[in-house]
Amino acid sequence: YIKHMGKGFWGSLLGAATPPLLNFARAAASPFKNTKPTATCWPLLGEARSQMMPTPLSEVDGVVDRLSAKSKEWSAVGCAERAVMLRSVLDLVIAHMDEAAEVTTQHKGSYGAGHSEEGYTVVCVAMAVREYAEAMEAGGTPKVLGVKRRPDGQAVVHVGPVGGLENMIFPGYRQEVWMKPDAQYPPTQGHVYRQAA
C-alpha cells in the first residue's frame, strides 16, 4: 500500500521537481555502475514504435510454470544464502541500469527528460532488491519506521521511504503495510522465512 500525500499546489510542485531529482539520482548512482551512458536522441512519447512482436501466451505460460516449479526449492533457501544471491542481483541491476532504461525509452518514447524517466523505474527495482536483501540479512525482521493502530484495531506498519535519498526521490510519499484486520498485535515479521530455514 503506497499513499501519495501531495495534492493541489504541492502535488504540482512535486511533479515539476521530479525530473531534476531523477537526474540527480542517476548521477548519484553513476560511480557504482560499470557502464557509461551514451549520447542518444530518444523519440518523444507517442512517436516511438516498438519492433518487438508480442510474446505468445504459450511461452508466457511456460515461463510461469517453470517459476512455479522452483518455488519449493526457493522456499527452502535460508535467509543468509538468499541475502548473498540478492546482493549479486542488485549489482547486476545497478550495472545495467542505463542500458535497461535506454532500451525501454527507445521502444516507448520519452516525455522529454530522456531515459531518466525509465531510469526511475529501474531505481525502484534496485531499491526493492536492496530492501529484500536487507530483510534477509536481518533474518526476516528488518527494523520498521513505525507501527500504528487504526480505530478498528487494524495494524498499519510504516516501511518507507527509508533514508534521505529515498525521501528525496519519492517526496510526499508514504509506504505502509496494512495488516489483516484480524492479525495479532503487534504484528510479527519473517515467520515464513524462519520456518522455511
Mean pLDDT by 10 residues, the chain (197 residues): 41 50 63 53 60 86 92 86 95 90 78 71 87 89 88 89 80 86 78 56
pLDDT score of 183? 82
How is the beta sheet containing 2-4 ordered, strand by strand?
2-4, 173-178, 155-160, 146-149
What's the full length of the chain, in residues? 197
Residue 116: exposure state from Cβ atoms within 10 A (0-12, 13-18, ≥19): buried
pLDDT score of 168? 80
State the Cα–Cα distance between residues 178 and 159, nearest whole angstrom: 10
Cell numbers linked to 33: 555502475
Half-sphere exposure of 94 (CA within 13 A, CB side): 20
pLDDT score of 73? 87
Dihedrals phi, psi of 175, to nearest 5 degrees: -100, 125
Query: Left, alpha or beta for 153 (phi > 0: left; psi -120 to 50: alpha)?
Result: left
The DSSP bridge partners found for residue 146 are 158
Closest CA to 89 of 132, 31, 118, 129: 129
pLDDT score of 165? 76
